[in-house]
Amino acid sequence: MTGRELEAGLTALPASKAGTEPGTESGTEPGLTTGRLTLRPMVVADVDAVHGLECSVFPHPWSHGNFIDSLSSGYDAWVLVDADGSSLVAYFLLMYAVDEAHLLDVAVAAGRQGAGIGRRLLDRIAARSRDKGMASIFLEVRPSNGRALQVYRRYGYSEIGRRKGYYPAHEGTREDAIIMRLAL
């Protein structure tokens, strides 16, 4: 399953630039911290918590193996944790091909949604994609996920097509995916 819905957002600062204005860094340093949150690369040890968060916010979650395979494939995977590392707040996974980034999965813990973390994660996703020389970002989202659609549209993503029957749905049915694109 690719292109997950966003529920809520982070602009992180490199730890060495804490206290500078958000959004002024390139985002290429391995660990990024702002306030009480740290954005860092996802590692295999994170997968249990990431899968748990996935299962808590999506009715048809990725499997534990999907995350392991994504890390093994070298996808650009990041976790957002409390600064002390005790609690997973959010994560995202990106795949790059030629000049396009594909947002494969993104989620924010239910108790942290509505606080702007999703929007700020989109900032970080766009910055990472620009740093990699990408011209655009693609994603898929369920038509039934109105909240994610609203966040994506407000951010500047545009609908460019549909994938019929892309997502599993209730009682063995399928749901289309809206394909969205953001030009960088």
Taking only the tens place, the pLDDT of each residue in 91-116 is: 999 999 999 999 999 999 999 999 99
Residue 6, in any domain of the structure: no
Residue 7 or 148, more confident: 148
In a domain, 4, yes or no: no
Positive or negative CA dihedral for 62, 63, 68, 73?
A: negative
Element (H, E) at 1: none
Whether residue 89 is contained in a domain is answered as yes
In a domain, 94, yes or no: yes
Q: Is residue 159 part of a domain?
A: no
Quick one: average pLDDT of 57-86? 94
pLDDT band at 34 (very low <50, low <70, confident <90, very high): low
β-sheet with 174-183: strand ranges across: 32-34, 37-41, 76-82, 88-97, 100-108, 136-141, 174-183, 158-168
Residue 84 in any domain: the answer is yes
Would you say residue 67 lies in a domain?
yes
Q: How many CA atoms lie within 13 A of 158 on its CB side?
A: 5
Q: How confident is the model at residue 176 (pLDDT cuts 50, 70, 90)?
A: very high
In total, how many domains does the chain have?
A: 1
- Residue 21: predicted pLDDT: 28
pLDDT computed for residue 32 by the predictor: 59
The whole domain housing 77 covers 15-133
pLDDT over 50 (residue 90): yes
CB atoms under 10 Å from CB of 55, counted, come to 15
Instruction: Report yes or no on 150 lying in a domain.
Output: no
> Which pTM value belongs to this model?
0.81
Mean pLDDT of the chain: 85
CATH code assigned at 30: 3.40.630.30
